[in-house]
Structure 1
Amino acid sequence: MGILLGLLAIVVVLGIAFLMSNDRKNINYVAIGIMILLQLATTWFMFNTKIGEIIVKFISGIFDALIKYGKEGVNFILGGVARVPMDNGDPSQIFFFDVLLLIIFFATILSVLTYLKILPTIIKYIGAFLSWITGLPKVESFNAVNSIFFGQSEALLAIKSQFHHLSENRLYIVSASAMGSVSASIVGAYMQMIPEQYVLVALPLNMFSALILASIIAPVKVPKEEDVVDIKEVSNAKSFFEAMGNGALDGGKIALIVAAMLVAFIASLELVNSVIQMIFAGVTLQQILGYILAPIAFLMGIPSGELIQAGSLMGTKIVTNEFVAMLQLSPMIADGALSDKTIGIVSVFLTSFANFSSIGIIAGTVQGIDSKKGATVSKFGLKLLIGATLGSILSATIAGLFL
């Protein structure tokens, strides 16, 4: 029954995208079919094979080690901060110190790997391979892979030299990849809140989902002369140590931005809930969102007794951001309030930038590159969010088929 519901959810997601399509006659169904098969194969490999399990544990081990090293740097400057013991005697977690400041170290590593041309070269050739097997344009494929490692702004800036070639449909695809992904610099922070294996499987699934949905909504055909990837100017650093410094500063900015957004969103959520409770006692926005999204959660494979909790987390992520939702999910995982299947499906859904605030981030970035194209992104901003959210549903549903 669960598999049938999952397949129905996939059909519904693809059907909604088809109804939203700008050019149904030119949809590349072969590429879409290939990418769905790649999603299924990737998820099966990571969840249901010994080799996949070993690879996931190996990558998780690398991130665990990096998190440990990052905490050494944090403890050096904050080692004297007192921790209030929790009820079980463990020291309490200070989210900004224990989670967000780790972003600085991960951003530094990414900056150095970018300066050394290691990461851009890997991304370029993976993107070229993806383009070859799916028939999608190289720029869009490169951007999709690049979006796994870098944030929305950084991913789009990496292809700014190609912006003059981007039609409205191509602009939609690259923007959708940026919104449907996450930055590797904050993956370590996610792993402090939700299970590592679901974060890792979400990275490739979301890359494919963004391309699948965007290719249906905004199909493209690109001449070869307008489809060239240039990685010569991927780093502004003139030396190794400048790259380290730039990465640290960028990571610090990201940590502060996330902290500021969390203060604003969580406080606003409490304000909205207090207003709602003046009218309906005991009712919260999260509960309302839970009931609204419960049918979608049901199709995705969430057990019937956990639909409202799952829908609440999904809705919270869309109207605020993934950090707020993950902070709500984390204690549920610790308390055993949700089944493993629900945790897996919801975790994959949450691991993306698909939320309302991302519309402004992407539109602002594009505006800085090309003012006319920035106006275009603002025009299709809501359509972009719907497409990215459908991508999150597709990724989570496919993950649920193997849980």
Structure 2
Amino acid sequence: MKVKFQRRSSGKDAMACSYQNPALSTEDIAMEPTTKTDPESGIHDNVDRLNSSFPSSDPPSYHEEHIDDEEEEEENQNKCMKAVSMVSDGISKVLAEHEVVIRKTVYVILCLGYLAFLIAACVINFCRAFAFLVITLVVLVFVVYGLIRDRWGKAIYKSCLKPAAGCFVKVWKYAKWIVYLGILVGIGLFLGLETGKQPDQLISLVGYLGIILCLFIFSKSPGKVKWRPVLWGLSLQFVLGLFVLRTSVGYDVFRFLGDKFQGFLAFTDDGRSFVFGSGLVVTSSTANLSEITSFADLIVTAAYLLHNFVFKALPIVISFSAAMSVLYYVGLMQIVIQKIAWIMQFTLGTSGPESISAAGIIFVGMTEAPLLVRPFLPTMTKSELHAVMTGGFGTVAGSVLGAFISFGINPSHLLACSVMAAPTALAISKLVYPETERKGSKKAERLQIEVSQQRNLFEAAASGASVAVTLVSNIVGNLIVFIALLGFLNTVLSWLGVMAGIPNLTFETICSYVFMPLAYAMGVPWEDCPIVAELLGKKIFTNEFVAYLDLADIIAAKKISARSEAIATYALCGFANFSSIGIQLGGLGPIAPNRKGDLADMVLRAMITGALVSALNACLAGLLYQEATIAVLPTAAVNTTMGYLNMTTPAPPACAYAGTLLDCMC
């Protein structure tokens, strides 16, 4: 279409228009003249009106066909979507109607497949499948317990447990004194026989009782001490120590747990070798290259092991923290902590929050454990706050435990000490700071732990790793600062010592004399006391990382006996040092801002109490520790005996193990 505009020569502006389209006559176009003031606006208005009245420039037949094609295509798409929607709705309806049956069918199929795999694995090699079988049985016990609790728990409690508990309370009121007397007599006979066989162990017993006496003398309120939590806590400590150190089953269990814990931490090698490099690096123990005379003086190691502490120990802290976060997300940590807390609450009579905090410190750090009882911190009594802080100072977190194991420290001793520290910390905390205020409710609901806020496993693992990065940075920063300060202090002491005629005066030398009586009271042989006393001083005035690094070097060099190694391992297992005071206050202050004054008043007392928790564990280790002795028969005697009995040496099994089936779990 074509529109032409032409201005007339007359005075009145008008528009001449010719439209080259036979379908439209000139009468169909109405034109109005524009005003004199704005002639151009009239032209534009008429053009707009003219164009709005024109039909499409496309031929009508083409335009209609195009519209018909689009409508047909849209109609076909709607039919397809309706069909898909109908099928989807039908499937959803069937699934909704038979949801229970389908779910049970899937569960049955999965269980049958799992059972078939378990049977096949046991038939092929029972020893190799023993670990899988044990894990299956443990999970099955928890599942059955959960089903029974959810379905018949209330009925069982009302009909059986509640009446039995009532009868037990009535009988226990009179029978408890007989039980207590029997326990004390049994412990006394055991200790008498043990110290009679090995008089050296009597020193550890005297040291143990001496520490308890000192704690009672310097108690906040000696006349108000309630002895139930004290005696029960120390009894639990003794039973755990006896189980670990003097029974073959306990030793095998904790040795097995330590080995598997160490094996799990070894998977960190994959991550740190990728981050720090797995290439080989040639190093030498000598600083002067001219002293290298042969290839024997060179050491070939992987790049990620070049700096053992930063590249090996600290990544373990990150990976273990992520693993703990995942276990917390799936709910396993809450169950374990609640059960341990329930045992301590039932026996010691402590409140729910302080029991949960003491149980949680076995697995998490001194700043993370109070988060488990965050809602109760602002209203806790001073005795409960002191117990929370003492538990934090008295043991180490599970993530840091992995770093100590990577140093070469005995994992079974570290695990046993961490477990023993929980009831011990509660016991002597109630001895040092007795409960004198009105306590809150000790009902079971106070044992509830907050559910993890992460949405999936990946977020839980990432959150745990992020938290550990902060912990690692704090560890590195503290080590740099305190080792530097220790070097400066040694320089100043050496300078002062030279002027006083005492050469080689250092901080370690002072500690070796100051803490030597404590080391001897723990049961350390006198010749090893200076070395162990140095470690105690470094642990208290710097931190436990410095002490354990030195202990690892001492163990590797065989400078002290195996008994001294075990006692030192227990004595150093705790966060009780002056640098941790700031960490403790910084962690608890923001959670309970209204209790900052109380926390500051009690933190030094709690730190000293936490240090003595480790000392009590070390005394108990010295009392119960026995070095393993293995009798080796001469080969000739074995051959003679076997020949006499007409026996042949049996072939080793397919999966060789020694002594116990626990070793099958490889």
TM bin (shorter chain) = over 0.9
Asked if 1:236 is matched to 2:435, the reply is no
Asked if 1:222 is matched to 2:436, the reply is no
CA deviation vs aligned residue, 1:74-109 (integer Å, no higher than 9, x gap): 111112464625458463552100111111100000
Instruction: Please name the residue that 1:283 is paired with.
Output: 505
Q: How does 1:14-163 map onto structure 2 within 5 Å?
A: 14-80=212-278, 82=281, 84-86=283-285, 89=299, 91=301, 93-163=307-377
Please give the alpha-carbon distance, in whole angstroms, between the structure 2 residues aligned to 1:134 and 1:84. 55
CA-based RMSD: 1.8
Instruction: Please name the residue that 1:203 is paired with.
Output: 418
Asked if 1:175 is matched to 2:389, the reply is yes
Instruction: Please name the residue that 2:491 is paired with.
Output: 274
Whether the aligned pair in 2 keeps the contact of 1:101 and 1:252 (CA below 8 Å) is no
Please give the alpha-carbon distance, in whole angstroms, between the structure 2 residues aligned to 1:83 and 1:230. 55
- C-alpha displacement of 1:239: 2.2
Please give the alpha-carbon distance, in whole angstroms, between the structure 2 residues aligned to 1:310 and 1:163. 37
Whether the aligned pair in 1 keeps the contact of 2:254 and 2:415 (CA below 8 Å) is yes
Counterpart of 1:176, as a letter, is: T
Please give the alpha-carbon distance, in whole angstroms, between the structure 1 residues aligned to 2:328 and 2:216. 37
Please give the alpha-carbon distance, in whole angstroms, between the structure 2 residues aligned to 1:253 and 1:197. 28
Counterpart of 2:441, as a letter, is: K
Q: Secondary structure of 2:560's partner? A: coil
Relative distance call for 1:47 and 1:6 in structure 2 (3 A) is same
Please give the alpha-carbon distance, in whole angstroms, between the structure 1 residues aligned to 2:603 and 2:350. 23
Whether the aligned pair in 1 keeps the contact of 2:373 and 2:449 (CA below 8 Å) is no
Whether the aligned pair in 2 keeps the contact of 1:298 and 1:307 (CA below 8 Å) is yes
Instruction: Please name the residue that 1:10 is paired with.
Output: 208
CA deviation vs aligned residue, 1:353-396 (integer Å, no higher than 9, x gap): 01111111111112101223122111222211111111111111
Counterpart of 2:462, as a letter, is: G
CA deviation vs aligned residue, 1:14-44 (integer Å, no higher than 9, x gap): 1121122223333221332222222222112
Give the greater-gyration-radius structure (CA): 2
Q: 2:400 aligns with which of 186, 195, 198?
A: 186
Q: Secondary structure of 1:72's partner? A: helix
Asked if 1:349 is matched to 2:571, the reply is yes
Please give the alpha-carbon distance, in whole angstroms, between the structure 2 residues aligned to 1:88 and 1:33. 57
Instruction: Please name the residue that 1:375 is paired with.
Output: 597
Instruction: Please name the residue that 2:560 is paired with.
Output: 338
Whether the aligned pair in 2 keeps the contact of 1:124 and 1:229 (CA below 8 Å) is no
Q: Secondary structure of 1:101's partner? A: helix
Please give the alpha-carbon distance, in whole angstroms, between the structure 2 residues aligned to 1:401 and 1:93. 38
Relative distance call for 1:284 and 1:245 in structure 2 (3 A) is same
Q: 1:263 aligns with which of 473, 480, 484?
A: 480
Instruction: Please name the residue that 1:326 is paired with.
Output: 548
Could you tell which deviates more after superposition, 214-223 or 104-113?
A: 214-223
Please give the alpha-carbon distance, in whole angstroms, between the structure 1 residues aligned to 2:282 and 2:478. 24
Asked if 1:388 is matched to 2:607, the reply is no
Counterpart of 2:352, as a letter, is: K
**Higher relative contact order structure (alpha carbons within 8 Å, sequence separation ≥ 6):** 1
Q: 1:253 aligns with which of 459, 462, 470?
A: 470
Whether the aligned pair in 2 keeps the contact of 1:165 and 1:226 (CA below 8 Å) is no
Counterpart of 1:136, as a letter, is: T
Whether the aligned pair in 1 keeps the contact of 2:232 and 2:427 (CA below 8 Å) is no
- C-alpha displacement of 1:123: 0.4
Asked if 1:314 is matched to 2:314, the reply is no
Relative distance call for 1:227 and 1:13 in structure 2 (3 A) is farther
Please give the alpha-carbon distance, in whole angstroms, between the structure 2 residues aligned to 1:275 and 1:171. 39
Counterpart of 2:210, as a letter, is: V
TM-score, normalised with respect to structure 2 = 0.58
Whether the aligned pair in 2 keeps the contact of 1:313 and 1:325 (CA below 8 Å) is yes
- C-alpha displacement of 1:400: 1.1
Whether the aligned pair in 1 keeps the contact of 2:378 and 2:595 (CA below 8 Å) is no
Please give the alpha-carbon distance, in whole angstroms, between the structure 1 residues aligned to 2:360 and 2:282. 38
Q: Secondary structure of 1:298's partner? A: helix
Whether the aligned pair in 2 keeps the contact of 1:172 and 1:384 (CA below 8 Å) is yes
Q: Secondary structure of 1:233's partner? A: coil
- C-alpha displacement of 1:116: 1.3
Could you tell which deviates more after superposition, 40-49 or 90-99?
A: 90-99
Which structure: greater helix fraction?
A: 1
Structure 2 unaligned regions, length at least 5: 1-198, 286-296, 498-502, 626-666
Q: Secondary structure of 1:235's partner? A: coil
Please give the alpha-carbon distance, in whole angstroms, between the structure 1 residues aligned to 2:543 and 2:341. 28
- C-alpha displacement of 1:235: 2.7
Counterpart of 2:274, as a letter, is: F
- C-alpha displacement of 1:226: 7.7
- C-alpha displacement of 1:183: 0.8
Q: Secondary structure of 2:535's partner? A: helix
CA deviation vs aligned residue, 1:170-196 (integer Å, no higher than 9, x gap): 111111111112111111101122221
Relative distance call for 1:348 and 1:88 in structure 2 (3 A) is farther
- C-alpha displacement of 1:227: 7.5
Counterpart of 1:239, as a letter, is: N
Relative distance call for 1:90 and 1:133 in structure 2 (3 A) is farther
Relative distance call for 1:90 and 1:42 in structure 2 (3 A) is farther
Whether the aligned pair in 2 keeps the contact of 1:317 and 1:325 (CA below 8 Å) is yes
Please give the alpha-carbon distance, in whole angstroms, between the structure 1 residues aligned to 2:263 and 2:320. 12
Counterpart of 2:222, as a letter, is: R
TM-score, normalised with respect to structure 1 = 0.95
Structure 1 unaligned regions, length at least 5: none
- C-alpha displacement of 1:225: 5.9
CA deviation vs aligned residue, 1:53-94 (integer Å, no higher than 9, x gap): 221121112212212111211111112464625458463552
Please give the alpha-carbon distance, in whole angstroms, between the structure 2 residues aligned to 1:275 and 1:257. 27
Please give the alpha-carbon distance, in whole angstroms, between the structure 1 residues aligned to 2:459 and 2:351. 34
Q: How does 1:286-301 map onto structure 2 within 5 Å?
A: 286-301=508-523
Whether the aligned pair in 2 keeps the contact of 1:359 and 1:378 (CA below 8 Å) is no
Structure 1 runs of 4+ aligned residues shifted over 4 Å read: 85-88, 225-228
Q: Secondary structure of 1:84's partner? A: strand
- C-alpha displacement of 1:132: 0.6
Relative distance call for 1:239 and 1:6 in structure 2 (3 A) is same
- C-alpha displacement of 1:224: 2.4
